[in-house]
Structures are given as C-alpha cells and as structure tokens.
Amino acid sequence: MSTARNIFPRSAKPELLGQTVVVIGGSAGIGLETARRARTEGARLILTGRNSERLQRVASELNALNTAAFDANDSAPLEHFFRDLPTTIDHVMVTAGQPHYGRMLDMEFEQARRALDTHLLLTLQVARIAAPKVRPGGTLLFMGARRPPPRHRSRDRVDSHRCTPCLIANLALELAPVRVNLIAAGFVDTPLSAKLPRR
C-alpha cells in the first residue's frame, strides 16, 4: 500500500478524521467521488466494486485501508465482507447498482426480480448485516433517483429506484440511533449515466 498523502488543505479542519467510511461501489462515479471527498476530510476508506483492477487503482490513489471485489447482489460475499471487517465503521454508502427502466407490468419476471434485488433487497441486506458494525450516530446511506418533472416523465419509463423511500423510512426507525438516509439524485455525469438512454 502506498504512503498516505496529505490530500486535505492545511487550513481546513477535516470533518471525518479518525472515522471509517465504507463505500459499496466506490471505484467509479458517485461512490468514487464521495470516497475522494471523505478522504479529503480525513476518513479511512474501505472500498468495494466488482472489477478488482479498477478497485486497486482507486485504492492506491486514495490510500484506502482495505478493498474487496465482489458483486453486492450476491448475499454470501456481502455478508462475509461485513462480518470480516477488522474494525467498527462510521459510515456506509451504497452506490452499487443501476436503474431498471420499463413498465413494471411489461417486465420479464426475472428482470423485475433483478430490479428488486438491486434496490430493495440489497438495501435490506446491507442494513441487516452492516448496522451492528456501525457505531451509534453513524450512517447508512443509499442511492435513489429524483422523480423527473412532469414534462420529462414518460409513461413507459418507470425507474425501479422509486420503490426504496418507504423501506428507507422504516429502516431509519428500526436502526436509530444509526441514521439511514436515501439520496434522490438528479442527473450526475458518471460512467453509468454515459451508458444510459436519455430520458
């Protein structure tokens, strides 16, 4: 592992000094930029993604404490990952996954199952296994998507992210004092959005 770089400005008071941040999907896009920002604020980083080469590149750039390459929708490695963490953690952000577009009733059943796996079941699974490792007052942070204004809504495009707010609200009640939040993002320029059809 490379030597830590002094990457936050000297005058700034780092807000996450001594805290550990886990990003599930931290090797690109929103997760990577969040990890960069957290590192700038003094956090120790633990990053995951599926592509181990890309993950290692990012880990070396950000001097991550640890990395693990696995598919977050695969519950066994996800569970091992959290169980084997060498430390308690302060914040977990989950950016793994992508939206599934289509009229729900027109989706193949397997496609609908994958959409539910990616958003609802992954959220539930992370909450269940990560929360005991998170110190009180720490955070579980998930990604959703902002509902586009009516003029940009198309009747044949339903984003599976829209199912998550209710689950997040319930988890927040059940896991307090660990905080559980959902970010409903608008368009963010990332490797994922570059591949998606324009809405």
Region near ligand NAP per CB under 6 A, out of 12-20, 43-51, 101-109, 126-134:
43-51
Q: In what order do the strands lie in the sheet with 134-145?
A: 66-69, 44-49, 20-24, 89-94, 134-145, 179-185
**132, 28, 36, 166 alpha-carbon torsion, rounded to 10°:** -40
Q: Are 129 and 171 in contact (CB under 8 A)?
A: no
Contact characters 9-38, ligand NAP, x per CB under 6 A: ----------------xxxxxxx-------
| Contact partners, residue 57, CB within 8 Å, separation at least 6 | 27
Q: Which is nearer to ligand NAP, 22 or 30 (CB)?
A: 30
Among 165, 174, 187, 199, binds ligand NAP (CB under 6 A): 187
Q: Provide, rounded to whole angstroms, the least separation between the CB of residue 61 and ligand NAP.
A: 13
Angstrom distance (rounded) from CA 77 to CA 40: 29
Region near ligand NAP per CB under 6 A, out of 1-9, 83-91, 95-103, 128-136:
95-103
Q: Which is nearer to ligand NAP, 49 or 138 (CB)?
A: 49
